[in-house]
Each structure stands twice: as C-alpha cells, then as structure tokens.
Amino acid sequence: MRRTTVLLAACAMMGISLGAKAATPSSGFENSVPADTKRITIKLYASADPNVQGTTNNQLNAETLPENQREIAGFGKYVSAMDLGTFAGTRFRAYLRPNAQVNYLSRNSGELLDMLVTAETSDGRKRPEKIAEGSVAFGNQAEIKFPRKTDPIGANGLTESSTLITLSVNGRNGSNYNGYGSVKSNLSLAGTTLLSNAKVTVSLPGIFDRTVSPDNQITITATPLEGNFTALTGTGKIGEPVAVGKAQVVVASLTPDLSSVDLAVLSGDLTTFDVKKPRSFENIPDFERVDLFARRIVGRDEILSATKAAGPAVFIFGEPKLAEGPYYGGPVGSNFNMTEQQIVESLQKDNPKPPTVVFVSRAINMKSLYDEYLGRKPDYFFLSDFDNPLNTQFRSNPNYGGPTYYSGPGAPQTIVSLRDQIGLPQNNVGILVSDSAGKVIISKPEVGPDLRGALLEINKALRDAK
C-alpha cells in the first residue's frame, strides 16, 4: 500500500493524474495521462485456456437470508446466500439449503446441501441466470465450468470463453455456511512489440468481457534482443503505475474491443538493462538418490570417493535422448541429443584419468532399462533427480519428450529435486564438474543445443588440468 501511495504521489508531482474513467461494457479502459508522455502501442490477442485451474484460496461466508428473500426468482427457496465475487458487472452467488444428514461409512458423518449457483447483474435489475443446480457434501470441492459468449475481444475477435467456479463448503454456524472458492475466467490477452533493442510483452489474465476495472492485473516484460542482459518484468493493477525494472509504466488506454493497449512510460525506460550476473555454483550438496539402473541408493560421498582414484565427477542434469530429435538437432528442453554412452565417451576420450560421469534425470527410457542394459551395469551413475524415484517418468515410448515432473514454485512440497536443490535452471541440460571435495570447478548451467561442443570443451579443460 505504501509503495502505491508513493508512486501516486510522484505522479501528482509530475502533473500526471491516474484517475481511471468508469468502464462500460464497450468502453475499454483509460487513465488520464498527459498527451506528451512517451507511449508504446501493443496489439493484443485474446486466448481461452482450456486447462484453466480453479483455486480455493478465498474464504467465503454465507449469510442467512430474510424470510421474504428466500424465494430465488422461481428456482425455489434457499436459506442462505454466499457471494462468490463480482466480475465485469456480473455478480456470482451460491444459494444453499440443507438437504440431509448423511452417515458415511468411509468418513465422518456430514451434511448434504442443495446448491444453486447464479449470475446476476451487480445492480440487481435483471433476473438471476441459473448456472448450476445440484447437491454438494461438506468438504467436497465442486467445480462448475460454463461457456460464455461475448462481443469480439482482441485483435483476433475471440467471442467464446468459459468461466470456472470452484467451491467447497466446510462448516457452518447455524445457517451461516462457510467455505473456500474462486471464480476464474479462462480468457486472457497478450501482445508483443519490438523497440530498438528490446521486445516488450504484456499479458492481462482473467478477462471476463470487454469491461475491465482498475483492479485487473497486467504483467509487463521487456526482454533484451541481444547481449547478456537481464530481462525486466513487473506486475500490478492497470489503474496504477507498474514498476518494470527502474521504469514506471502505466496503462494509458485500452481500446473498446481490447484489441490494443497504450502503455505510458512515466519515468525511466524499457531499453536499459543490467548485465546478467552468472550464477555461481560452489559445492555439490550432500544427497542420496536411487541409481535407476543399479536399483540401489547412491550418495554424494560414494561418488566423490570414486573421483580420488579417477578424474573429477561430471554431473549431467537432463533426460535421455529421444528416438527422433527436433530438426535442428538440439535438446528438446532438457532432453539430450546424444546417447548416454556417446556423452561418456566424449568426456573420457584421451583422458588419462577418465572422469566419473553421473547422470541426474527426471526420466528414463524403458528400452534402456529392460533391453540395452539388461543384465549388465553401465560405466556411469544414472540417478533419479527426485528423492522419491517413483516420481521419475518411465517412458515406454522413447519419442515422448514430456512433460517431466516440475518441482519448482507451486509444485507439491513432497517432490524434492536435486536440480532445484542446487539451483539449476529448469528445462535445460546442465553440467557441473566437481573435484573430490565436492567443490564445483566447471559449471555450465544452460548448455543449449550444442551439447557435444560443451562436452569437448570440458574434456579439454580436464586434460589441460593434468
């Protein structure tokens, strides 16, 4: 709140008013910004995500309806109402009434409720529209997805989208029920434009129709077109300035059909970037993982002990080569474009002290496990990236490149990955070389498509160090 207040005060000192004009169903959006402020115009395209997921983060409380308000527009009588939220002038409500007390054999007894979900105009002038009607049990999550038609939105004129209501009723005080839920639209807007040395991208999620409010979220990202620089990004409300790096940017206007957005750069600019600092990898942390070929637990100490008699340990993070790689010959995300044996040979060739090679993977091809290496032990370690090897993807089809499990932000906390523990980027082949004490002496966290070149470079560095 203080940050927003300071930004608004700074805008006032510059003579910039950020009062948002009231939006109507066809008015788009506009902030009052001086005409001479630098503008960036970006064409927007609408899309509807078929895989939109609901959340139950918002706490909801129902209120008992007065006796004279319990008849809901011909849909029957309900004793309480729960506000789910108002979006783009539409108010979503859930009406509840007790149905029966159910004695479950599989869990504690609970109450069965009748639920009516409606969409209403926020001013209450129109008759409520029924979205769904049925029964729900205490503690069970209901997901209601329904289609919506709008006037054409975005430069591509999208007219069809859907809304997902997620709701769970968990308890009550008398007839005042409480629970958790959310209302989400799968409609979003996104667009990109090019500046002299940067690509500027904007995205606006959760659009319900042509009506937008100052509280709608926007993300603005400026990515350098070349050089080793860090991208700038910022997220905020369209009615307020958004900090994008050192620049302050605000939405000057959205066209009525949401096909274009004008960004006003209040201060700073979107073409000045900081040099990207390479991440330092100092030590291989202590760990224990299952070797997927040997089917036994292997720890850091065992691997480092092997390096005392041989060369350093080369940890290669990625997934096995697909049977048919992409046309350019590079890895598909974190998939190798060479076989494991080719990788080992590239590292050990002409090396008097061949390094100990350790693959750390989130997937394994069943053909390798039960055909190529059946009854024989490979001359390398092949460890599960995850502490629980059952999270590994066992590929029956070696052409299938994904998805692999992701254990970054938002993933279940029970999935722990060595890649994340070290801090390597996702979806890329990464290589770390350590000495017998576990100290990282060579790091290539993002190898890119030239895996063979990276291996030959490491091979030369190890031979030159002898």
Query: For 98-133, how does the pLDDT look when each residue is reduced to its tens digit (9 = 90+)?
Result: 887 766 666 666 678 899 999 887 666 678 889 999
Phi, psi of 327 (to 5 degrees): -60, -30
Contact 36, 260 (CB under 8 A): no
- Tokens found for residue 150: 């709008």
pLDDT of residue 55: 56
243-261 burial: b if 16+ Cβ within 10 Å, else e = bbbebbbbbbbbbbbbbbb
Q: Collect the ranges in the chain with pLDDT lower than 70.
A: 1-28, 52-57, 102-110, 122-125, 175, 276-279, 322-333, 396-415, 466
Phi/psi-derived region of residue 233, left when phi > 0, alpha when psi is between -120 and 50, beta in every other case:
beta
Q: Alpha carbon 68 to chain centroid distance?
A: 46
Contact 19, 31 (CB under 8 A): yes
CA distance 377 to 367: 15
Element (H, E) at 317: strand 313-317
CA distances to 12, 204, 404 from 391, in Å:
54, 34, 9
Neighbouring C-beta atoms of residue 89, cutoff 10 Å = 16
pLDDT of residue 21: 45
- Which DSSP letter does residue 229 get? B
CA distance 44 to 203: 8
pLDDT of residue 26: 37
Neighbouring C-beta atoms of residue 408, cutoff 10 Å = 11
Residues 6+ apart with CB under 8 A from 12: none
pLDDT of residue 57: 57
In the block, residue with structure tokens 């091979």:
459
- Tokens found for residue 13: 């000192």
pLDDT of residue 18: 47
CA distance 384 to 291: 6
Contact 62, 70 (CB under 8 A): no
Q: Where are the beta strands (DSSP E) in 65-216?
A: 80-87, 90-102, 110-121, 129-137, 141-153, 158-173, 176-185, 187-194, 198-204
Longest dimension (CA), the chain: 91
> Partners of 290 in the beta sheet?
297
Residues 6+ apart with CB under 8 A from 270: 40, 195, 198, 200, 222, 232, 244, 245, 247, 249
Whether this model's pTM surpasses 0.85: no
pLDDT of residue 466: 61
Task: Please name the fold of domain 288-464.
Answer: Glutaredoxin (3.40.30)
pLDDT of residue 219: 94
Q: Which amino acid is at 75?
A: F
For the chain, the domains span 2-48+187-267, 58-185, 288-464
Q: Strand pairing of 58-64 and 45-48?
A: unpaired
pLDDT of residue 407: 41
> Partners of 163 in the beta sheet?
146, 185
Phi, psi of 116 (to 5 degrees): -120, 120
- Tokens found for residue 337: 């474009």
Residues 6+ apart with CB under 8 A from 302: none
- Tokens found for residue 396: 């029956």
CA distance 7 to 77: 49
CA distance 264 to 262: 7
Q: Alpha carbon 23 to chain centroid distance?
A: 30
pLDDT of residue 289: 95
